[in-house]
Chains A and B, each alone.
Chain A
């Protein structure tokens, strides 16, 4: 074994140029893996974050249309303590009404939040363009609505219910949730104001929350439904966003496909180069066999060569891939100086890529290794 390793090492170092070339071949494959993986990983995270990370992922509502969640504080408390893997539990009371500015009425959805968790779900603080989040008795408007109605922070506006009740409130700030539909319809406030303005008791229309792992949301929802009274139903984002989900899946699958093809080309490259190397070294192998090296040890020489080349290629490839990734975040920039895609450097993924490269290089050397095991010394020593 040790002898075979020593011979493998010497064979590799004796033809440095060739060995380096093979290692670089493997390295290019690994670096493409690392780069594409980081790129797609980053895209995925960004997309998930934008699409579902700034939104409710599990929502509890009353089963019957028009009904409300009555003991919402209690339910919220239970959910937070149940250890279901949910966070940012936020009861909300929604009501449709109008924003009256002079002679004009703008249709709005008044959202009364019961907890600061809503800020964490929708990242409201981040979304503020001017002013502050609403305190008790205040509202925050979306940027589209504010522009349309010509309202600025600290102005006073009138809320009107469908039944004709009105109430003057002050505008604490203007937000931009990056979605026009929300920016022109949502008016954010606290739950007490909605309850009072619309004449509801101490009720919520929904309890919103996020899951620790958004992709577990459907399973959590099922578990949660079992804990809650029959009068409440649980929805999750996955059931409601099939298109998004299939898009995300498509991205994962295409990323996997790219990686598999890169891998296949790396394996083929190593196998063919090592196969040529066996031919080159067949004379040496014949001599070694004449001197009594076992067929097994002879094949270990080439397995070891594949393994060593794999390690060299993996190290080189990871360095190259990280370099590429760094360069990409450094030079592919948006006009505002942020990277086009924030890449995700996942050490586990990189470790797996490197490991796969080493394994496949070793695997690729199996064919030449078998050939070298079968080589007959007489093929080399024919001189009479």
Chain B
């Protein structure tokens, strides 16, 4: 299978006077259409890694290849376009725009891409919101929804432009365990249905085990990288 994300020799150092090395020599390939989870203690560098993959942050050295494109020397405007069309983000905090309704938030990446809301985008937004079970609150102001509804809205927003990659940083960090299960099931479902590649940071090992592959980051290095045979085996046994 092709690699949609390829990291080579990534180092990330913060600060100029007091230097903190957050990532050290990270090499990582993510297969297209895969569902990978990243685990690690807080401060291990996993969020920094995700932000570098998402081109929100630039590595101090090393190269980031997204969908076959070397991103290291791309202009800010080209990166903006890459993010808009190829990558969907789900952050730990929903990061919805409080000035807009749930539906408008979901439509925002499509609006940025097309300069307007096309009927197709509207149709897709409604379908995604139906899928997320939030069609009833679509006209609510983003600030006036429950935490679970907000997070589902932000997932729908990440998917609106049908991105090839979804990067999620503890997307269920603020949800109770039942909601967490539901959200992961939806993400898995989308992964299979739309062939979207998922890269998800989680601290919940139970959830991590639902992924195809688990990567553990410790002190800025890849400490563990294994295909989740256990999950597969369980899946096969129950079938």
Contact = CB atoms under 8 A, between A and B. Distances in A.
A351 interface: no
Given A14-B98, A384-B48, A2 B83 contact: no
Interface stretch (B28-36, B74-82, B127-135, B224-232): B74-82
B99 interface: yes
A293 interface: yes
B112 A3 contact: yes
B184 interface: no
Interface in A351-384: 377-378, 381, 383-384
12 contacts: A1-B115, A6-B111, A7-B99, A284-B99, A288-B108, A292-B83, A292-B113, A378-B56, A378-B57, A384-B169, A384-B170, A384-B201
A350 to B, nearest CB: 34
Interface size for chain A: under 10, 10 to 19, 20 to 34, or 35 or more residues?
A: 20 to 34
Contacts of A294: 77, 80-81
A46 interface: no
Interface in B74-112: 76-77, 80-85, 89, 91-93, 95-100, 108-109, 111-112
Interface of B: 42-43, 46-48, 50-51, 54, 56-57, 76-77, 80-85, 89, 91-93, 95-100, 108-109, 111-113, 115-116, 157, 169-170, 201
A201 interface: no
A3 to B, nearest CB: 5
Chain A interface mostly helix, strand, loop or mixed? helix
B98 A3 contact: no
A296 B77 contact: yes
Contacts of B170: 384
Contacts of B46: 384
Given A10-B99, A287-B96, A292-B81, 20 more contacts: A1-B115, A3-B111, A3-B115, A14-B98, A283-B95, A289-B80, A291-B109, A291-B112, A292-B82, A292-B83, A292-B109, A292-B112, A295-B76, A296-B77, A297-B112, A378-B57, A381-B56, A381-B91, A381-B95, A384-B201
Q: Which of B46, B82, B111 has the most CB of A within 10 A?
A: B111
B89 A290 contact: yes
A290 B115 contact: no
A287 B97 CA distance: 8
B165 to A, nearest CB: 13
B41 to A, nearest CB: 11
Given A10-B100, A291-B109, A383 B47 contact: yes
A228 to B, nearest CB: 69
B80 A295 contact: yes
Interface string A140-180: 00000000000000000000000000000000000000000
A155 B66 CA distance: 110
A328 interface: no
Nearest to A297: B112
B80 A2 contact: no
Interface string A281-322: 001100111111111110000000000000000000000000
Given A381-B51, A384-B169, A2 B201 contact: no
A86 to B, nearest CB: 60
3 nearest interchain CB pairs?
A: A384-B47, A292-B84, A14-B99
A291 B115 contact: no
Contacts of A293: 80, 84, 112
A92 B99 CA distance: 78
A1 B114 CA distance: 10
A11 interface: yes
